[in-house]
């Protein structure tokens, strides 16, 4: 005789995704770092009494103190203030660049995977042509022609990232377009745009979120590298890369500029990297099954 399973022997309920994410040490550390960077960017005006471009030449290259926690730079500007505002620049460049690249790649990937044929071939050739250009050399060439600005960095990074997103969504669409629910939608007379947006997109977009999260630290370090070369956001706008460049110039007299600037950059890149890896491990079905 079959006996109904008791609550004690029944399978445990699946934990919410947030709890699974935070239960992993890497995910918890990554989430903490991401929240810290976002909080610095959002609440920058309330975290320091100084303006990021406030000059005090009488207090230039001052060492860390109670008045200036992380010292001052060659113009007497508070280093902590500029690093906090630099978090704003990093996110204002990385988030729009990744979002724009993801949206363009999503649309083109859906079209390529769903229609196939010459449309897919043409879009794949476009992806390959764009990816064939080294991102750094492409950025240097464009910025040399039009000049440095945050908008140009966003445009360049979105342009160089969308082929990866497009290929990812294409691969997901190729698998989903032969599923029964998609074929049933076609049989019922649903239009191609409706089938793609209603039936395929919700089932294909999860890997895109994970890939986009993993690309945020890439864009942050790319912007910092351009600013270090003098090709990023123009002064006096604070950027982690420009702060590192200024610290490198005075590294013998003021090593704290390099130390603190590098620390902020490392925390941001590690935070988003750990967070993205934890997202992948949390939502990737194959990884969860192997772990079980």
- Is pLDDT at 72 greater than 60 in this prediction? yes
User: What would the pLDDT profile of 151-210 be if each residue is shown by its tens digit?
Assistant: 899 999 999 999 999 999 999 999 888 888 778 877 777 787 888 888 888 888 888 988
Residue with tokens 């979120």: 209
177 within 8 A of 112, measured Cβ to Cβ? no
Q: Give SS3 for 78.
A: strand
User: What would the pLDDT profile of 209-258 be if each residue is shown by its tens digit?
Assistant: 888 988 999 999 999 999 988 888 888 888 999 989 888 888 887 888 88
Alpha-helix runs per DSSP H in the chain? 17-23, 25-42, 44-47, 79-115, 117-131, 135-146, 150-176, 180-187, 192-194, 201-204, 206-228, 240-249, 255-283, 285-291
pTM: 0.83
Sequence ranges of the domains in the chain? 82-291
- Is pLDDT at 35 greater than 70 in this prediction? yes
Residue with tokens 């990232």: 161
State how far the Cα of 176 lies from the Cα of 195, in Å rounded to an integer. 11
9 within 8 A of 244, measured Cβ to Cβ? no
User: What would the pLDDT profile of 80-105 be if each residue is shown by its tens digit?
Assistant: 999 999 999 999 999 999 999 999 99
Give me the helix-helix angle, 255-283 and 206-228, nearest 10°: 170
**35: nearest Cα among 116, 75, 91:** 91
* pLDDT number for residue 13: 52
Residue with tokens 């399973």: 5
Alpha carbon 196 to its chain centroid, in Å, reads: 26
State how far the Cα of 141 lies from the Cα of 155, in Å rounded to an integer. 13
Lowest mean pLDDT among 4-13, 16-25, 201-210: 4-13
CATH topology (fold) of 82-291? MetI-like fold (1.10.3720)
Instruction: Name the token pair of 9.
Output: 């022997």
113 within 8 A of 125, measured Cβ to Cβ? no
**Please, which residues have CB within 8 angstroms of residue 123's CB and are 6 or more apart in sequence?**
108, 111, 112, 166, 170
State how far the Cα of 87 lies from the Cα of 85, in Å rounded to an integer. 5
User: What would the pLDDT profile of 103-148 be if each residue is shown by its tens digit?
Assistant: 999 999 999 998 888 999 999 999 999 988 888 888 888 888 888 8
169 within 8 A of 204, measured Cβ to Cβ? yes
């Amino acid at each position: 005789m079959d006996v109904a399973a008791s609550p004690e022997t029944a399978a445990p309920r699946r934990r919410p995704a947030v709890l699974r994410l935070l239960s992993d040490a890497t995910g918890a550390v990554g989430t903490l770092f991401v929240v810290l960077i976002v909080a610095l960017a959002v609440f920058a005006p309330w975290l320091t009494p100084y303006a990021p471009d406030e000059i005090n030449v009488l207090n230039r290259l001052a060492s860390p103190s109670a008045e200036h926690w992380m010292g001052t730079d060659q113009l007497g500007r508070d280093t902590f203030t500029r690093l906090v505002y630099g978090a704003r620049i990093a996110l204002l460049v990385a988030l729009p660049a990744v979002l724009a690249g993801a949206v363009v790649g999503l649309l083109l990937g859906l079209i390529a995977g769903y229609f196939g044929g010459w449309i897919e071939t043409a879009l794949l050739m476009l992806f390959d042509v764009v990816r064939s250009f080294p991102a750094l050399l492409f950025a240097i060439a464009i910025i040399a022609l039009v000049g440095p600005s945050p908008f140009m960095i966003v445009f360049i990074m979105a342009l160089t990232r969308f082929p990866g997103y497009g290929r990812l969504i294409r691969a997901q669409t190729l698998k989903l377009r032969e599923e029964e629910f998609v074929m049933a939608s076609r049989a019922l007379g649903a239009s191609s745009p409706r089938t793609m947006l209603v039936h395929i997109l919700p089932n294909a977009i999860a890997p895109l979120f994970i890939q986009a999260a993993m690309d945020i630290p890439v864009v942050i370090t790319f912007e910092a590298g351009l600013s270090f070369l003098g090709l990023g956001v123009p002064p006096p706008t604070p950027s982690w890369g420009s702060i590192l460049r200024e610290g490198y110039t005075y590294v013998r007299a003021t090593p704290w500029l390099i130390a603190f600037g590098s620390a902020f950059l490392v925390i941001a890149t590690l935070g988003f990297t750990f967070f993205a890896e934890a997202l992948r491990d949390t939502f990737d079905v194959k990884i969860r099954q192997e772990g079980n």
